[in-house]
Amino acid sequence: MTHDDSMNTNEPMDTGAQSPVSEAQTDIALGKGLDLGTANIAAAVQNDEGGITVNVERNAFLDIGDDVYSKNMLTKLKVPYVVHNGKVIVLGEAAFELANVFGKNTRRPMQDGLISPGEVDALPIMKMIVSKVLGEPAQPGENCYFSVPAESLDIDNNVVYHEGLFSGLISKMGYTARALNEAHAVIFAELAEADFTGIGLSFGGGMANACVAYKSIPCVSFSVARGGDWIDRNVSQVLGVKQSKATYIKERGIDIRDPKNREEEAVAIYYRNLISYVLQNIKSRFEAGQNMPTFNDAIDIACAGGTSMVGGFIEVFRDEFAKIDFPIPVGRIFRAEDALTAVAKGCLVAAAIGE
């Protein structure tokens, strides 16, 4: 399918559960985008009105004893669950909410942007969540572009294994699986008016990804092993609270420009450090000059990812950017209108163009 100009990436998002695309829609809705994030998994599909529908689920689970009492409790609370390997498993947002109620940490299928090596149930749990948000292909072999992180500058991350694992999982679901760097996906989602030229940044749960592209062609892509989980771990340590509590503090609606107490101050400190760290690494790559294009005009910087959704993020980003002597002219610095779903939307745009 050629790129359809009616595909408006700023259409309102419906993040509730959606039915799989019907056969009647396949002529306009072929191709899907999938964001395999450490904290959230999102799937995007073009709907019959020419807009985009995105399904989102938190990438987490909680296992509870397989007994009558536990099942009755979950039933009374109207919490959906599955039974896996003799354990009652609660998936997604419901797992996160239960963890906070009972003072536990959720289990996470992914760590630092990749499938977790220490989580034995990671792959089957991920398959359940992906199946829930992605649904079945509209027709066999439908293109599904899925996000993968770039090679990291500060840790040794095995992206090849991660990409191959999910390529196989998605292919077994009946799709033609194609990998796309997640920061490159941000460029597809947010920089269409700039001819897909500029800098895309994806601030995820496991890491932060950066991509510099010229007319949709990626010139440099890299990641750093700092993201929302890195903030949560550090806040958890300095405050002496569970990591799920630190996540709750971060997500409850604070503004990192104006922290109101010690907890929010800790979150703000680590956010500013994360942003500064990413910007310094981008600057260093430009100054190194390897594979960098020459930009005649100022380029835009588009930020996305769930970690960028905190209040005051883009203002603090601009403050930190002003402190460094960036080697090329920059125009707009902005956050995606729907930062949580931008990577999924970008993967969908790439799927449409790719077909």
Nearest CA to 229 out of 218, 244, 210 is that of 244
Judge if 43 and 100 occupy the same domain: no
Residue 51 · residue 8 · CB < 8 Å: yes
Judge if 175 and 229 occupy the same domain: yes
Judge if 227 and 334 occupy the same domain: yes
Q: What is the CATH number for 245?
A: 3.30.420.40
Beta strands in the chain (DSSP E): 32-36, 40-46, 52-58, 61-64, 82-84, 87-91, 110-111, 114-115, 142-148, 175-181, 198-203, 208-214, 217-224, 299-304, 330-335
Tens place of pLDDT for every residue, the chain, 355 residues? 323 333 333 333 343 433 333 333 334 558 999 999 988 999 999 988 888 999 999 988 888 777 777 777 787 777 777 887 778 888 888 888 887 777 777 888 888 788 888 777 888 889 989 999 999 999 999 999 999 999 888 877 778 989 999 999 999 999 999 999 999 999 999 999 999 999 999 999 889 999 999 999 998 899 998 999 999 999 999 999 888 888 888 888 899 999 999 999 999 999 999 999 999 998 988 888 666 777 889 999 999 999 999 999 999 999 999 999 998 899 999 999 999 999 999 999 999 887 5
CA pair distance 17, 133, nearest whole angstrom:
7
Residue numbers of the domain that contains 77? 61-107
Which contiguous run of DSSP H or E holds residue 243?
helix 243-251
Last residue of a domain, one of 107, 136, 166: 107
> Domain total for the chain?
2
Q: In what order do the strands lie in the sheet with 217-224?
A: 217-224, 208-214, 198-203, 299-304, 330-335
Q: CA triplet 21, 27, 33: central angle to 5 degrees?
A: 55
Judge if 38 and 157 occupy the same domain: yes
pLDDT at 47: 86
Prediction pTM value = 0.84
pLDDT at 213: 93
CA pair distance 87, 103, nearest whole angstrom:
19
Judge if 123 and 46 occupy the same domain: yes
Q: How many helices (H) and strands (E) does the chain have?
A: 11, 15
- Which pair of tokens denotes residue 234? 């550090």
Judge if 207 and 329 occupy the same domain: yes
Judge if 103 and 121 occupy the same domain: no
Judge if 101 and 127 occupy the same domain: no
Site of tokens 């729907």: 338
pLDDT at 10: 35
Q: What is the CA radius of gyration of the chain?
A: 20
Judge if 286 and 146 occupy the same domain: yes
Judge if 145 and 256 occupy the same domain: yes
Residue 242 · residue 236 · CB < 8 Å: yes
